[in-house]
Structure 1
Amino acid sequence: MKTAGIVGANGYTGSELVRVLAFHPNVTLSFLYSRSNSGTKISDLYPDLTAVCEMDLTDKPEEVDILFLCLPHKESQNWLTQNPVNDETLVIDLGNDFRLEGRFGERNFIYGLPEINKKNLLNSKSVANPGCFATAIQLALLPLAEKGVLNEVYTTGITGSTGAGQSLQATTHFTWRNDNISAYKTLTHQHVDEILQQLDTLNDKKVSLNFVPWRGDFARGIFTSSTVKSDLELSDIYQLYKEFYEDEPFVKVSEKAIDLKQVVNTNRCVIHIEKNENVVVIHSAVDNLLKGASGQAVQNMNIAMGWEENLGLNLKPAAF
């Protein structure tokens, strides 16, 4: 058994990580860190964790084998500076501090998208977990990028309210979100640079990504649609995708239309492709809190520790 600690356990991704790790056969939780809720039971904040985890939140971290950082963006570096971590501790950052510039002291963070970086993740001690939109969009485009046929990409994507974090904002109030949809950060979303960094390493030429994200009136999940031009036949594109992902346990390429409920509450990504003349649309769906965050962090932990990749992650979606 390995010990694990979660910094920022009071947030959505942190509490979701508690839920997953509570049933992981190779991990025991040692501490749940929160400055703002120290002394409070995690199950008092999240009643769904009653009888699953009754640990008290604390502001005193301990030395552990595996450390998860579930902090707001740009706060992980500050926390590591103030709380030095043993060099042998596996650190997995779920924020965006190390996705583009992966160095912190002697640590070199590996970008944690297993479908393209599995070999580098094995035995790594520092992992930068991808963003939720970045995961869904990259998985939709990676096979075409490896083929070198990406050029101009137009992507729309809709996300649930948990993607905005736990802190209450005007756009996460029920009265605003219910029966409502809006675009935000049009063409300027923070995940664009992260996506292009990976696609450009595979594609023969630089990729142009025009991304319009949307806020949805539901709690969790991401559905994206990426439009590109290609002269490849649809059957050849499907073959390309199925070969690319044939050994990946969490990516399913479907020739049937997909929907969000197929992935919510799982670590899976499902992909469906449509084509009309030379225009191709690749749809992808993930759970933003699992494959887009905490589930992928556990997947990265499994790989880094040399365990079975899907250990503790055999989760079924809820259809109703």
Structure 2
Amino acid sequence: AQKGLLNEVYTTGITGSTGAGQSLQATTHFTWRNDNISAYKTLTHQHVDEILQQLVSFNHNEISLNFVPWRGDFARGIFTSSTVKTDLELSDIEQLFKDFYADEPFVKVSDKAIDMKQVVNTNRCVIHIEKSGNVAVVHSAIDNLLKGASGQAVQNMNIAMGWEENSGLNLKPIAF
């Protein structure tokens, strides 16, 4: 987006049961989620406008975002895959991401495939990019209870107070 290269993005994201908020619903119960997956709010999710606002602030062009969220059979985490058409080489796309996130202590662009266990119980986001032909897919994973909520709040407080950005947030993932 920062390089003005986006015009149409297709994103799928799968969230654990903790991504459904505090209110009880039929689809948040373990017995419904266990051994199950389902799409919800297809193309109408409440965060589409927020995501577009951020993308357009970088891109400065109209962007079409087609977002399909999924409910997954796990408790915490969000894993997204965003597909875009581009003629850039994979190495150039990876370098764009590495440069953009170079000063971000909790974002890692991985040269290897990623999974949710790399981020659960951390304030980290991991990103991996794949490309075939003129289609690139950007995968990302976060722990929605830390990076997406309380950990992000602590990180923001650290920045606001002039403290080390990672104070209190050097947590280990459940698998490393």
Report the TM range for the smaller structure's normalisation. over 0.9
Partner of 1:217: 73
User: Given the alignment of the two structures, is residue 236 of structure 1 paired with residue 84 of structure 2, yes or no?
Assistant: no
Aligned mate of 1:169, from 10, 25, 30: 25
Partner of 1:308: 164
Check the 8 A contact 1:224/1:283 in 2, yes or no. Answer: yes
Partner of 2:174: 318
Report the CA distance between 1:152 and its aligned residue. Answer: 0.3
After superposition, what is the alpha-carbon deviation per residue over 1:137-188, rounded to whole angstroms, capped at 9, x for unaligned? xxxxxxxx00110010000000000111233210011111100000000001
Name the aligned partner's letter for residue 109 of structure 2.
Answer: V
Check the 8 A contact 1:158/1:223 in 2, yes or no. Answer: yes
Name the aligned partner's letter for residue 284 of structure 1.
Answer: S
Partner of 1:227: 83
Partner of 2:64: 208
Whole-angstrom CA distance in 2 between matches of 1:283 and 1:261: 14
Paired residues for 1:174-189 under 5 Å? 174-189=30-45
User: Given the alignment of the two structures, is residue 293 of structure 1 paired with residue 155 of structure 2, yes or no?
Assistant: no
Check the 8 A contact 1:149/1:204 in 2, yes or no. Answer: no
Name the aligned partner's letter for residue 246 of structure 1.
Answer: A
Paired residues for 1:145-156 under 5 Å? 145-156=1-12
- Alignment root-mean-square deviation, CA: 1.0
Check the 8 A contact 1:264/1:286 in 2, yes or no. Answer: yes
Report the CA distance between 1:307 and its aligned residue. Answer: 0.7
Aligned length: 176
Aligned mate of 2:115, from 259, 262, 266: 259
Whole-angstrom CA distance in 1 between matches of 2:20 and 2:7: 30
After superposition, what is the alpha-carbon deviation per residue over 1:40-59, rounded to whole angstroms, capped at 9, x for unaligned? xxxxxxxxxxxxxxxxxxxx
Between the two proteins, what is the percent identity of the paired residues? 87
Whole-angstrom CA distance in 1 between matches of 2:89 and 2:20: 38
Whole-angstrom CA distance in 1 between matches of 2:2 and 2:24: 40
Partner of 1:196: 52
Whole-angstrom CA distance in 2 between matches of 1:200 and 1:244: 16
Structure 1: 5+ residue stretches without partners: 1-144
Q: Which has the higher contact order (CA 8 A, sep 6+)?
A: 2
After superposition, what is the alpha-carbon deviation per residue over 1:216-246, rounded to whole angstroms, capped at 9, x for unaligned? 0100000000000011000111111111111
Larger Rg: 1
When normalised by structure 1's length, the TM-score is 0.54
Whole-angstrom CA distance in 1 between matches of 2:56 and 2:101: 19
When normalised by structure 2's length, the TM-score is 0.98
Secondary structure of the residue aligned to 2:154 is: helix
Secondary structure of the residue aligned to 2:173 is: coil
Whole-angstrom CA distance in 2 between matches of 1:300 and 1:176: 35
